[in-house]
């Protein structure tokens, strides 16, 4: 069985949990407690020198890191059900949405950056709230013209997988995203889907 | 002919220029001057609601955004020469390296974030220097065991495409990356390659 190093509250690990659930793949979950700095333990740095979660350890010991790279690997090796449409243009649209969150939003408000903001004597919660609001407002624009109920149609894709963990952060930092109607429709569809429900932070073994 | 909206100094646009050169694809370049805020013009926001460069406009008017999504589309539709290895595990390794830069490094030190840091009365150059040093140090670890001269072997990949624009930033912010020996080997190989040379910021029509 594969091992997933994660943390209940890590948005990037949350994405991989959803993807694994959608594909029906069971893994052993191992927690690295981010607030206690466990991801910086020398033993864990041997697994992932970036000192970040998630890391997926395959049965032969190969370590894969970076949530998007892990999900591309999953998609390439276990294509059903698909996380991406078949048409190259549609794939690019789904990926661009996912990256608007995974590149332009999530990393700018993760624990590492917020600790840096706090270390400068600044309000890290206000920073995180602004980044979440800006990022999700742009994400809503990207799917305004798309049919629902999910971000890109009738089935969940990589876009929804990246959206939901970011929404958890937006709520935690009290960013008001209630007016983003197309996004709200997708959130509702995801929250009614078992693969998303089972991946929720509060339901993980290491939840506090 | 396709149109690439970019900016000579944008690291994300620089990536796409390298990828297009490697694939031998010519495009019309259109500049959006980031420091003058041209990417926030209402006309440009219709093209990319995220207000970021790059955006690639296909011949039929379809707009693709996000550099990694654009490069995945290029790879899927014009696979030769490849930007990724064939083996799924190797692909995941190259992608993880690329994302360690495109997700965890670049967006945390881009103009938008530095303006926010400066707006808080903080030293944006010190911020950018620290982020570049941290990100490229981790990137060096990821390829320590890989044969050169490029990041992942004898030919350039998506990893090198993401590396070189980040190195341009590291130099601009005076991050000392001289001790990252495996990374330096890859940088040298890229700097000797015409596809990388022709994509350099200073050689673009909008360079200042």
pLDDT in tens, B77-101: 999 999 999 999 999 999 999 999 9
**A50-97 pLDDT, tens digit each:** 788 899 999 999 999 999 999 999 999 999 999 999 999 999 999 999
Same domain, B12 and B104: no
Q: Using CB atoms, which residue from B72, B100, B113 is nearest to A50?
A: B100
**A157-168 pLDDT, tens digit each:** 999 999 999 999
- What pTM was computed for the model? 0.96
Q: How confident is the model at residue B43 (pLDDT cuts 50, 70, 90)?
A: confident
A185 near B CB under 8 A: no
pLDDT at A32: 82
Of A81, A116, A134, the domain-final residue = A81
- Tell me the percentage of chain B whose pLDDT exceeds 70: 99
Helices B158-172/B88-102 angle, 10° precision? 20
A52 near B CB under 8 A: yes
* Domain extent for B133: 88-195
Of B81, B100, B126, the domain-final residue = B81
Residue A38 pLDDT greater than 80, yes or no: no
User: Which chain A residues contact residue B93 at CB under 8 A?
Assistant: 64, 69
B64 near A CB under 8 A: yes
**Is A95 within 8 Å of B88 when comparing Cβ atoms?**
no
Same domain, B54 and B75: yes
Strands in B39-81 per DSSP E: 55-57, 63-65
Picking from A104, A121, A21, the residue whose alpha carbon sits closest to that of residue B104 is: A104
Residue B147 pLDDT greater than 90, yes or no: yes
Give me the number of domains chain A comprises. Answer: 2
Same domain, B97 and B181: yes
Q: Is residue A61 part of a domain?
A: yes
Give ipTM to 2 decimals: 0.95
Residue B32 pLDDT greater than 90, yes or no: no
Same domain, B174 and B101: yes
Of B62, B81, B100, the domain-final residue = B81
Give the domain CATH number at A34. Answer: 3.40.30.10
**Helix/strand/coil (H/E/C) assignment for every residue in B106-134:** HHHCCHHHHHHHHHCCCCHHHHHHHHHHH
pLDDT at A36: 75
pLDDT at A41: 81
């Amino acid at each position: 069985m594969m091992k997933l190093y994660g943390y209940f509250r890590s948005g990037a690990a949350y994405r991989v949990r959803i993807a694994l659930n959608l594909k029906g793949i069971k893994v052993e979950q191992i927690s690295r407690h981010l607030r206690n700095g466990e991801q910086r333990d020398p033993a864990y740095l041997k697994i992932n020198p970036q000192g970040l979660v998630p890391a997926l350890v395959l049965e032969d010991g190969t370590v894969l890191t970076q949530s998007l790279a892990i999900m591309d690997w999953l998609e390439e090796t276990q294509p059903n059900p698909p996380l991406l449409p078949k048409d190259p243009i549609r794939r690019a649209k789904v990926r661009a949405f996912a990256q608007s969150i995974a590149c332009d939003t999530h990393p700018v408000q993760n624990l590492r950056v917020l600790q840096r903001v706090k270390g400068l004597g600044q309000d890290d919660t206000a920073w995180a709230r602004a980044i979440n609001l800006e990022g999700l407002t742009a994400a809503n624009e990207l799917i305004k013209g798309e049919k629902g109920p999910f971000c890109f149609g009738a089935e969940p894709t990589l876009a929804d997988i990246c959206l939901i963990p970011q929404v958890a952060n937006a709520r935690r930092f009290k960013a008001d995203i209630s007016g983003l109607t197309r996004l709200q429709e997708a959130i509702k569809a995801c929250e009614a889907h078992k693969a998303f429900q089972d991946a929720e932070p509060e339901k993980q073994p290491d939840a506090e």
